[in-house]
Structure 1
Amino acid sequence: MNATTTVDPAVDPALVDAVDVARAALLEEVPADQVGEHLTSYVEQEGALTHVFASTHPGYVGWEWAVTIAGGDGRITVDEVVLLPGGSAIVAPPWVPYKERLQPGDLSPGDLLPVDDDDPRLVPTYLVGEETGEVDRAQIKGVAADLGLGRVRTLSVEGLDLAAQRWHDGDGGPEAPIAKSAPESCWSCGFLVRLSGSLSEMFGVCANGNANDDGRVVTYDHGCGAHSEVKLARKQQPAPVPEHAFDSFSVDLETF
């Protein structure tokens, strides 16, 4: 019995001792130079146990061979032989769908990014039904106009919250380096164009062509050095131009 074997009273001792049987089954599948020492064993279920051997394959450093055997009535059978990553194995990172991997700026001209029908960021816009009366139709049209007339779907509460959080945490938020060193905040800047709806409570768009954030959404507590009311300190102002000197030692003949 190997010293690293996990013993379970419910497991047939013959399975625990069958290290050579498991190794022989493994050598029928892979070359001997790819099989290392016996590492451990563990119970799969009642009547089944897996023996683990180190992999010495140069392309699978840190991986392990797992041989599952089962027994009963004095017989031992081999269920499967697989190569599994160990604790130090180099494996591919977890799969992330391409939609979740995309970052702002990744889309190129002509690329399409369809939205799922059940995307929680969007909800159906109110539409006029065939059976709606004239009065109800007018009321629904008013609601549809507020939400965005002509659009099949519009932002849900969750979609608005996600956008607000993303903008707040981005380069136009209060934690941006340029905002931390700004003399004033955007809320008092004359170049700020306020948004409408619920986002107007926290966000606007910069309209200063000289600012880094021109045309971008910024939070009211964002800021930069191009604030409309910023003033230079006396020491920061350019030196005044000296007055013209009058040359009294020569004669301008053109004046005579």
Structure 2
Amino acid sequence: MVAVAAAEERVRGVSARAARDAVLTGAVELARAAAEEVAESPQDVGEHLGTVAEAERLISHRFACTMRGYRGWHWTVTLARVPRGRTATVCEVELLPGDGALLAPPWLPWAERLRPGDVGPGDVLPFRADDPRLEPGYVPTGDEEQDAVAIEELALARARVLSPQGRDEAAERWYRGSRGPTARGAVASAAECGSCGFLVPLQGSLGQVFGVCANAWSPDDGKVVSLDHGCGAHSETDVEPQRSEWPDPDPLVDELHVEIVSLLESAAAGTGESGDAAPEPGDATDGTAPEPGAAETVTVTESVVSTVEVTVGTDPAAGTEGDGATATDDVAEQPASAEAADPAADAAPDEPQE
């Protein structure tokens, strides 16, 4: 095993007499009992892995560790005895990693471990007096005009302000971040933030490159953006006109709409009165029969809506006359026409009209 081989290599560095110490080498059960007493459970101490001679009358026994999460670790129990003594004494018991053990990452100070976003609500960072990102602020000189410029206009009335290193680090971080010119939204935008009306510039040297977005519709609202950043909520850009993705609809033809036309007024306007037209001579209803082979014009009035004219012929072969009543019944269902509305249009030229 790997642990045994390592133990053999360490034995070579001590005297052969120490390696042959029968009192300490044979005290395996004493070492196991000491390891089980320190472990949370006796089952956490596994098989005996070997013995390592640390020095004269000083030997360490190693046992496998069976606890979860401690793969490759082992229990080390160091035994010693006095010169010419026949009794082993336990010096220390510890859990040490072996070859291939699962180890934690190297320890780093909190200032090096801290990452953006690690500080949450209620968290407080310890004071760092030697922060290289800061430098002492403005110290009043007693000159009212000079102090007013430094304190009121330049806002330097603080114990510490950004140092050149702090400004450079902030500018590099902002410019290379998600609100710089290389962001995905900035590459796809049609215009830069430098020409947007919602940009609030910063003061000082940082204002030459950065500003604060004040557009509520922008994903960067209230955040520092570079002047060459951009988004789709720019104040001066517009959407390019595009055709609708829906197909053009077919024209609608209304075949169910009925246009209501009053024929009573048109019939009255054609006759000059609202009553029925005067019957013509030779009408089938006056009791006189037409001559065989002749045609007769019959005027039939259906209700008071329209006047219809039809021509009823007699059958010369049969020698019979057409029935006026039958003709009236046959034409009652025919549609009215504009010509039928004026009975005077078919009157004989030599006959007077009423």
Distance 2:227 2:52 in 1: 61
Counterpart of 2:138 in structure 1 is: 126
> 2:218 corresponds to which residue?
211
Q: Which amino acid aligns with 1:30?
A: A
- Specify the SS of the correspondent of 2:173: helix
Partner of 2:96: 84
Which has the higher relative contact order, 1 or 2, with Cα contacts under 8 A spaced 6 or more apart?
1
8 A Cα contact 1:37 1:54, kept in partner = yes
Aligned residue-pair number: 237
Instruction: Say whether 1:57 aligns with 2:67.
Output: yes
Residue number in structure 1 paired with 2:179: 172
**8 A contact 2:70–2:101 mirrored in 1:** no
Cα distance in 2 between the residues matched to 1:65 and 1:105: 37
- For residue 14 of structure 2, the aligned residue among 11, 14, 22 is 11
Select the residue among 210, 224, 227 that pairs with 1:220. Answer: 227
Give unmatched runs, 5+ long, in structure 1: 240-248, 252-256
Whole-Å separation in 2 of the counterparts to 1:101 and 1:203:
25
Deviating more after overlay: 155-164 vs 86-95: 86-95
CA distance in 1, matches of 2:50, 2:186: 57
Matched, 1:36 2:51: no
Is this contact kept in 2: 1:125–1:148, CA < 8 A?
Answer: no
| Alpha-carbon distance in structure 1 between the residues aligned to 2:210 and 2:176 | 12
Q: C-alpha separation between the residues in 1 aligned to 2:57 and 2:181?
A: 62
1:28 is aligned with what amino acid?
A
Matching residue's letter, 1:125: G
**Residue 244 (structure 1) aligns with:** none
Q: Is the 8 A contact 2:11 2:19 kept in 1?
A: no
CA contact (8 A) 2:138 2:158 kept: no
Structure 2 portions without partners, runs of 5+: 37-41, 247-257, 261-354
CA contact (8 A) 1:12 1:71 kept: no
8 Å Cα contact 1:7/1:16 also seen in 2 = no
Distance 1:222 1:143 in 2: 31
Is the CA contact 1:62–1:90 (under 8 Å) kept in the aligned structure 2? no
Aligned CA-pair RMSD: 4.5
Report the secondary structure of 2:74's partner residue: strand
The counterpart of 2:238, out of the listed 231, 234, 255, is 231
Q: Once the 2 structures are TM-superposed, how far is the Cα of residue 190 of structure 1 from its aligned partner?
A: 3.1
Q: Distance in 1 between matches of 2:197 and 2:227?
A: 12
Hey, what does 1:194 align to over in structure 2? 201
Moved more, 178-187 or 17-26: 17-26
Q: Give 1 or 2 for the bigger CA radius of gyration.
A: 2
Cα distance in structure 2, aligned partners of 1:183 and 1:71 = 84
* Structure 2 letter corresponding to 1:233: E
The TM-score, its normalising length taken from structure 1, stands at: 0.66
Structure 2 partner of 1:182: 189
Counterparts in 2 of 1:108-147, with a 5 A limit?
108=121, 112-113=124-125, 115-128=127-140, 138-139=145-146, 142-145=149-152, 147=154
Aligned AA (2:64) = A
SS at match of 1:57: coil
User: Mean Cα displacement is larger for which, 154-163 or 69-78?
Assistant: 69-78
